Amino acid sequence: MKILVADKISPKGVAYLRQQPGFEVIEAYGSSPEKVLELVKDVHAIAVRSETKITREVFAAAPLLKVVGRAGVGVDNVDVEAATERGVVVMNTPAGNTIATAELTFTHILCGARPVPQAAASMKAGQWDRKSFGGIELFKKTLGIVGLGRIGGEVAKRAQAFGMRVLAYDPYLAPSRAKAMQVEIATMDEILAQADYITVHMPLTEDTKYMIDEAAFAKCKKGLRIFNCARGGIIKESALVEAVKSGKVAAAGLDVFEDEPLAKDSELRTLANVVLTPHLGASTAEAQESVGIEIAEQITDVLAGGVIRNAVNMPSMDAAAVKVLGPYLDLGTKLGTLVQQIAPKQIATLRITYFGKVVDLDANSITRAIEGGFLRRISGEEVNFVSAPFFLQRLGIAAEVIKSNADSGYSELMQVEAVAASGEVFSAQGTLIGRGNQPRIVGINGREVEVAAEGKLLVLENLDQPGMVGEVGSILGRDKVNIADMSLSRLTPGGTAYMVVRVDTEPSESARKIIKEHPAIKLAKFVQL
């Protein structure tokens, strides 16, 4: 079997692959996209870091490909949807760089308090300038952590050791978990208003992009120090530049950027009190050796038909089981992410019910797929099908699984319910249809619908009155959004109706605003599967 190592991983990882009988290892670092397309024609596995992009075109050109392994956490450079469609396993190494990234974050925090890089540069230039490089202490200052996942939690421990007060914003985190970590839960506005230091540790999603922008900086204390070693785009760079120039932000540290590599003429490079590093979060000898060996072992296991570990698009199981369960895992993942997007941010219970033939399958694997789908937009690339139960537990969400003998009206059906603390339930149901086992959504919030479980959906609840379909269609038409599919449902004439519209492209913010503000529309959610 042929393995392409497209990006430079630990030599020990490459050596491990070469030691396996029957493996041919090709090291092709820095290859152009055209060269990658040529190389993958007969490969069975690809190992990458973050440089090489494994696109839909790459998957199409690689008929023998079974697995893509990312030596690190983020899989931004891999088209996971295209991989899943072709049955290719995509794996990462989520725990390998936790300590490295947490320590780099705290290094930036310390450099924001005491301008050591600037003072060191001054000394190298032959100067002795003690007056220009005064700093402040961390002791008794307030640190706001935005996102209290694995890395955010490690940063919190280090801040507490320095005697800092730690505020944490994580809309999905249960208060009991925050109490156990000895941090104070706060709203985003409270963090902005109270923090002397802010560090962000969120995945980059539609909800988190530019979550710290001009409006956010306006709410902050003068003299704020802010840091991002998570994902570029969480902090709006143009807003940060203006906040630094105005004096609102006294210091900043960035390891990640909206576009990488950072442009040579970026204004960030001109700001003396902003420390920049070139995406070094996982760049320690220990972390790189760990993830390099780990991904080599995981790739070997997959090619040998063994257990799949740390997959982002399927749970841990052997290759034969993946072939049988693949369609169910895909449907489960999509039902999970659908329910998460229509439910409130804080829920008490995730309840999964199986009906019909699916009861006799490996429900544990399908459950992990549903849980992973539910967490995908919350915990980002840190979560996979192995770690999903842990992440639910960390958020204080109880998981319930029910195998029902009741007649659902389908030969097999999955139902996913997010139960809020108030008892309110948000749900979705799905099944597989046709020879190709195509995933279909057949129920949302207790209403019967039927729409393909793919792409982009508008989920609308509206007053049941004439002309609503035409009005929504006209709004989308003016926005140049094509409707691929539509399903309508109502309980009683003249009451409320559900409209699920599958669209080819995402409606603009202005079009969504018009839909949401329509007097007859009670609920409007844009969902991405």
Q: Which two structure tokens, joined as six digits, stand for 399?
A: 């998981």
Quick: pLDDT tens for 131-164.
999 999 999 999 999 999 889 999 999 999 999 9
- In this structure, the number of other CB atoms found within 10 A of the CB of residue 11 comes to 11
Instruction: Give the pLDDT of residue 154.
Output: 94
Pick among 3.30.1330.90, 3.40.50.2000, 3.40.50.720, 3.10.129.10: CATH of 314-453: 3.30.1330.90
- 62 neighbors 43 (Cβ within 8 angstroms): yes
Q: Identify whether the C-beta of residue 447 lies closer than 8 Å to the C-beta of residue 441.
A: no
CATH class for domain 98-276?
A: alpha beta
Task: Output helix, strand, coil percentages for the chain, rounded to the nearest 5.
Answer: 35, 25, 40
Cβ-contact 140, 165 below 8 angstroms: yes
Active-site amino acid positions: 231, 260, 279
One-letter amino acid at 91 equals M
The predicted pLDDT at position 271 comes to 97
| DSSP at 256 | -
Confidence category of residue 253, pLDDT binned at 50, 70, 90 = very high
Contacts of 213 (CB under 8 A, 6+ apart): 236, 239
- Dihedral angle sign, alpha carbons of residues 416, 421, 425, 426: negative
Number of neighbouring beta carbons within 10 Å of residue 320 = 9
Q: What is the pLDDT of residue 76?
A: 83
**Residue spans per domain, the chain:** 1-94+285-304, 98-276, 314-453, 455-529
Question: Buried b / exposed e across 209-232, counting CB within 10 Å, b at 16+?
Answer: ebbbeeebbeebbeebbbbbbbbb
Longest Cα–Cα distance of the chain, Å, equals 83
Query: Rounded CA gap, 172 and 188, in Å?
Result: 13
Coil vs helix vs strand at 157: helix
Q: How far apart are CA 284 and CA 289, in angstroms?
A: 8
**pLDDT at position 388, please?**
80
Distance CA 198, CA 227 (A): 6
Average pLDDT over residues 474-485: 92
- Segment 24-42 mean pLDDT: 95
| Contact predicate 17/299, CB 8 Å | yes
**Fold category of 455-529 in CATH:** Alpha-Beta Plaits (3.30.70)
Q: Which residues of 427-441 are buried (b: 16+ CB within 10 A; e: fewer)?
A: bbbbbbeeeeeebbb
pLDDT digits (tens, 9 = 90+) for 310-324: 888 766 555 566 667
Task: In whole angstroms, give the CA distance from residue 303 to residue 16.
Answer: 14
Minimum mean pLDDT range among 99-108, 372-381, 400-409: 372-381
Question: What is the token pair recorded at 139?
Answer: 């002791």
Nearest CA-CA partner of 205 in 379, 86, 434, 440: 379
Which amino acid is residue 423, in one-letter code? G
CA torsion sign for 238, 240, 242, 245 is negative
Contact between 198 and 144 under an 8 Å Cβ cutoff? The reply is yes
Residue 483 has pLDDT above 70, yes or no: yes
Distance CA 315, CA 71 (A): 18
Measured in residues, the chain has a length of 529
Residue 149: its H or E element: none
Which region among 127-141, 164-178, 333-347 has the lowest average model confidence (pLDDT)?
164-178
Q: What is the per-residue DSSP string for 379-413?
A: HGGG--TTTHHHHHHHTT-EEEEEEE-S--SSSEE
Asked if the 1-94+285-304 domain carries CATH number 3.30.1360.30, the reply is no
Q: Does 61 have pLDDT greater than 90?
A: yes
Task: Provide the pLDDT confidence category of residue 11 given band limits of 50, 70 and 90.
Answer: very high
- Taking only the tens place, the pLDDT of each residue in 183-215 is 999 999 999 999 999 999 998 888 899 999 999
C-alpha–C-alpha distance, residues 4 and 15, integer Å = 13
Indicate the pTM of the whole model. 0.65
Average pLDDT of the segment spanning 292-308? 88
> Do the domains at 314-453 and 455-529 have one common CATH topology?
no
pLDDT score, position 203:
85
